[in-house]
Amino acid sequence: MRDAPERITHYLCIGCPLGCRLEVEEDESGAIVEIRGFSCRKGKVFAEREHTDPRRMIATTVTVVGGRWPRLPVSVTEEVPRDRMWDVVKALRSVVIDAPVAMGEVIVADVAATGVDVVATRDMPLAEIAR
């Protein structure tokens, strides 16, 4: 009787500049049987997370009215599931807010029903009135 064929997926750890090449081996049922290639615990955790529940931070800008600049930099407060990133970006496209805005202010709560908020990552003062 032959052993079940193993399935190996490769990842590049982004935890530090060393860039360890990680391998996640799973059995036929999809359960992880071994993680290899990491040089520290951070890499092992990264590989497991990337394999089972990949998530990403999103930083972009939204339209602001009456501010010193026309776009306000924003970011999610925590990583969102990778397969929901497009939903978040689409939701932010139509956002228009009024200046002034303080850094850290919630711009969109529970964006795209992800349970994650989007906050301003800088202050946006009012535009100076032309004299």
Q: Which two tokens stand for residue 33?
A: 């049987």
Q: Is 59 buried (19+), middle (13-18) or exposed (0-12) by CB count in 10 A?
A: exposed
Shortest spacing between CB 39 and ligand SF4, in angstroms: 4
C-beta separation of 50 from 43 below 8 A: no
Judged by CB under 6 A, the chain residues 32 through 51 that form the site for ligand SF4 are 38-40, 42-43
One-letter amino acid at 97 equals I
Q: Please say which residue, 42 or 56, places its beta carbon nearer to ligand SF4.
A: 42
The answer to whether 16 contacts ligand SF4 (rule: CB under 6 A) is: yes
Shortest spacing between CB 128 and ligand SF4, in angstroms: 46
Helices (H) and strands (E) in the chain, counts: 2, 10
Q: Please say which residue, 17 or 30, places its beta carbon nearer to ligand SF4.
A: 17
- Residues within the interface to ligand SF4 (CB under 6 A): 13, 15-16, 18-20, 38-40, 42-43
